[in-house]
């Protein structure tokens, strides 16, 4: 993939502002728990745009892309195992002693 240009940065920036606006407007709707999923989802898309275009993640050599993927996967493991613990804590009866 060729390196980003001035135009690429400008369109990415406009896209980010658009996503920010959409995310803020959606937050005013009553979507229950689904609203939070959309908010975090849109924030993730924005983060991918910043990391991929402005930080050249899409254009970097394979080693760096593996480092990025490793960091993100490690974070997701930390998040999912912790939440798994909190969700399932009450499933089994607790016996003292």
Partner 1 sequence: MSDPVALELREHFATVEQQRGTADTGMWVFLMTELMMFGGLFVAYTVYRFNHPQAFAEGSASMDIMLGSVNSAILLTSSLTMGFAELSAKLGRQRLLGILLLVTILIGLAFLGIKFTEYVEHYQQHEAPGVWFNRSGPHAPAVQMFFVFYFIMTGLHAVHMIIGIFLILGLISRNMIGSLSAAYHTPVSIVGLYWHFVDIVWIFLYAIFYLPGLHK
Helix/strand/coil percentages in the chain, nearest 5 = 75, 0, 25
Min separation Cβ 84 and partner 1, Å: 11
To the nearest 10°, the Cα dihedral for 90, 91, 95, 97?
-80
Q: Does 91 engage in binding with partner 1 (CB under 8 A)?
A: no
Q: Does 2 engage in binding with partner 1 (CB under 8 A)?
A: no
Among 1, 62, 63, 91, binds partner 1 (CB under 8 A): 63
Site residues for partner 1, 22-41, by CB under 8 A, read 23-24, 27-31, 35-36, 39-40
Q: How far apart are the first and last CA of the chain?
A: 62
Query: Would you say 78 and 26 are in contact if contact means Cβ atoms under 8 Å apart?
Result: no
Alpha helices in 56-95 (DSSP H): 62-88
Interacting residues with partner 1 (CB under 8 A): 4-6, 9-10, 13, 16-17, 20, 23-24, 27-31, 35-36, 39-40, 42-43, 46-47, 50-51, 54-55, 60-61, 63-64, 67-68, 70-72, 74-75, 78-79, 82-83, 86
């Amino acid at each position: 993939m060729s390196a980003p240009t001035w135009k690429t940065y400008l369109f990415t920036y406009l896209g980010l502002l658009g996503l920010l606006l959409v995310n803020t407007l959606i937050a005013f709707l009553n979507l229950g728990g689904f609203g939070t999923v959309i908010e975090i989802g849109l924030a993730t898309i924005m983060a991918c745009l910043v990391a991929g275009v402005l930080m050249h993640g899409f254009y970097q050599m394979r080693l760096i892309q593996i480092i990025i993927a490793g960091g993100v996967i490690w974070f997701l493991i930390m998040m999912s195992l912790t939440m798994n613990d909190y969700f399932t804590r009450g499933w089994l009866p607790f016996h003292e002693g």
